[in-house]
């Protein structure tokens, strides 16, 4: 419970109607979650306007309403806080409600199109290996030291973020590694958080259904670094052509990492095979258990963050050598002399990197068989690109369903087929049922062929219509590989 006047510290209010010295027991932007002594924050979203639910919130017990426009009907017993942007102030109010937990630990934010989950998880694992209590907020899950919680968003709602950060503080966590999505940045979900380090992994075609243009998408990511303080550090991938754009206007200290260009932290790939990468970082050779050229960026980003945090270099390199693949990220499954790989890649650039890495492991007499689809209700412009890349880099491509949501999966597949070059059409099969597509891919494979299933990674479900159906790429692929003869 907090006093309202405390929650309003550093909040940009235009006008306050009613009593400021009242008790607030909870905060929400969902009228259905309002209870006695709640504060309801009316946010105008893309689909719904919270201002239309103010009356319902009051009926459910709200004692305070934060809004941009006063409702026509004013209830005398209710306190109304008028602000310019309720979404922005909601995030800061949530931080206040939990006594600003991001200022009581070291919060590291990782943003970019690809590599966020892997880099954040590597960092969490490295510190845990060194018996340093750490937290993780990622697409896969939320972790507080050794306790795991499920999550539905890459970056949760502001209330949820601060709730878990507060739990971490209460449990003695010193460092939290958090994925920062472009949606969360433009929706001000991270407003008011104090980041010690911001990391930029890379940027490529994604989320244009939301951001509309690639320029807007870049600008969304850039806001994160623009808002870092002079006490923070911006760590960026200097190999990415948009890397410099990210840190153009930041007040933070700037550090870089790379494979190719000169940088503060450079990694050299010595050897690359399915057993793992052998890399060199600052004259130290590390035999990692992480496969895939693209994962070298995640390894060097993790190393750089640990170094910036002041960890011992020897302990960092030792930890890097024992890290395992993150669930659903270039996860290798070997059965019956056949190789399966499950990866979350669902953008053109990510698919290209995964398939290019796999091609290096396959001899000319063996095949790369790719099972891939595109999600419904998402960026349609990337579908033909994904179809083109898969068909050109694979010996066999099977186009299938991947979380079609409210779209016709066959139409999504048709969109992918538009990107297939004439000379590659004979290499493409269409099997709309995802399980049957995986089964077919395995049946078409021989010893030492690689069957890769892309798009869902760690996910344990399929979103079809309004139904969430249990489904795991890893379990299905493993099942059919074991049955293969």
- What confidence score (pLDDT) does residue 173 get? 98
pLDDT at 465 over 80: yes
Whole-number Å distance between alpha carbons of 65 and 362: 61
- Confidence label for 140 from pLDDT (cuts 50, 70 and 90): confident
* Contact present, 372 and 402 (Cβ < 8 Å): yes
* Contact present, 110 and 304 (Cβ < 8 Å): no
Q: Say yes or no: 260 and 197 in one domain.
A: yes
Q: pTM for this one?
A: 0.92
Whole-number Å distance between alpha carbons of 37 and 57: 11
- What confidence score (pLDDT) does residue 179 get? 97
Mean pLDDT of the residues in the chain: 95
**Average of per-residue pLDDT across 298-319:** 97
CB-CB neighbours of 166 under 10 Å: 19
DSSP state of 140: S
Q: Say yes or no: 22 and 123 in one domain.
A: no
- What confidence score (pLDDT) does residue 97 get? 98
pLDDT at 209 over 70: no
**Average of per-residue pLDDT across 32-51:** 94
Q: Say yes or no: 192 and 174 in one domain.
A: yes
* Contact present, 228 and 234 (Cβ < 8 Å): yes
Domain span holding position 472: 331-483
What is the domain-level CATH number for residue 59?
3.40.1390.10
Q: Of 209-218, 256-265, 378-387, which gets the smallest average pLDDT?
A: 209-218
- What confidence score (pLDDT) does residue 204 get? 87
Read off the tokens for 162.
């601060």
Q: Say yes or no: 357 and 226 in one domain.
A: no
- Confidence label for 379 from pLDDT (cuts 50, 70 and 90): confident
For residues 335 and 97, the model is more confident at: 97
pLDDT at 381 over 90: no
Domain end marker among 260, 289, 322: 322
Read off the tokens for 121.
């998880």
Q: Say yes or no: 315 and 373 in one domain.
A: no
Number of domains in the chain: 3
- What confidence score (pLDDT) does residue 399 get? 98
Which one, of 365, 413, 370, 366, lies nearest residue 393 by Cα? 370
| Backbone angles phi and psi of 225, in degrees to 5 | -75, -30
**Average of per-residue pLDDT across 38-55:** 94
CB-CB neighbours of 445 under 10 Å: 24
Q: Say yes or no: 394 and 348 in one domain.
A: yes
């Amino acid at each position: 419970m907090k006093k309202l006047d405390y929650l309003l510290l550093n909040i940009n209010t235009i006008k306050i109607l009613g009593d400021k010295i009242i008790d607030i027991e909870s905060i929400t932007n969902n009228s259905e979650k309002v209870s006695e002594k709640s504060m309801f924050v009316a946010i105008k979203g893309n689909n719904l306007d919270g201002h239309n639910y103010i009356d319902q919130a009051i009926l459910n017990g709200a004692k305070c309403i934060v809004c941009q426009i006063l409702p026509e009907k004013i209830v005398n017993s209710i306190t109304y806080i008028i602000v310019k942007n309720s979404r922005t102030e909601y995030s800061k109010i949530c931080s206040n409600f939990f006594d600003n937990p991001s200022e009581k630990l070291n919060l590291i934010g990782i943003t970019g199109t690809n590599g966020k989950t892997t880099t954040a998880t590597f960092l969490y694992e490295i510190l845990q290996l060194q018996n340093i209590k750490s937290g993780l907020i990622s697409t896969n899950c939320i972790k507080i030291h050794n306790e795991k919680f499920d999550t539905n968003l890459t970056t949760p709602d502001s209330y949820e973020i601060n709730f878990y950060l507060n739990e971490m503080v209460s449990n003695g966590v010193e460092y939290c590694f958090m994925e920062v999505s472009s949606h969360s940045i433009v929706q001000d979900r991270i407003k008011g958080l104090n980041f010690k380090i911001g990391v930029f992994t890379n940027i490529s075609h994604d989320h244009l259904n939301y951001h509309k243009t690639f320029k807007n998408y870049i600008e969304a990511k850039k806001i994160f670094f623009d808002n870092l303080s002079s006490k923070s550090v911006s760590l960026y991938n200097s190999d990415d052509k948009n890397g410099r754009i990210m840190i153009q206007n930041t007040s933070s200290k700037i550090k870089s990492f790379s494979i190719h260009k000169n940088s503060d932290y450079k990694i050299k790939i010595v050897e690359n095979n399915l057993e793992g990468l052998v890399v060199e970082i600052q004259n130290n050779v590390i035999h990692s258990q992480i496969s895939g050229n693209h994962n070298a960026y995640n390894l060097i980003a993790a190393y750089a963050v640990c170094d910036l945090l002041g960890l011992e270099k020897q302990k960092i390199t030792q930890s890097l050598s024992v890290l395992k693949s993150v669930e659903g990220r270039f996860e290798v499954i070997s059965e019956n002399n056949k190789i399966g790989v499950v990866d979350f890649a669902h953008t053109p650039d990510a698919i290209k990197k995964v398939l290019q890495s796999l091609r290096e492991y396959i001899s000319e007499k063996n095949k790369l068989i790719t099972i891939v689809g595109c999600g419904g209700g998402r960026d349609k412009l990337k579908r033909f690109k994904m179809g083109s890349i898969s068909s050109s880099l694979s010996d066999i491509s099977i186009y299938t369903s991947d979380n079609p949501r409210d779209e016709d999966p066959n139409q999504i597949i048709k969109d992918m087929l538009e990107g297939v070059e004439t000379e590659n059409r004979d290499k493409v099969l269409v099997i709309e049922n995802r399980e049957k597509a995986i089964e077919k891919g395995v049946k078409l494979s021989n010893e030492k062929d690689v069957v890769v299933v892309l798009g869902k990674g760690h996910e344990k479900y399929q979103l079809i219509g309004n139904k969430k159906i249990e489904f795991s790429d890893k379990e299905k692929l493993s099942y059919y590989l074991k049955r293969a003869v």
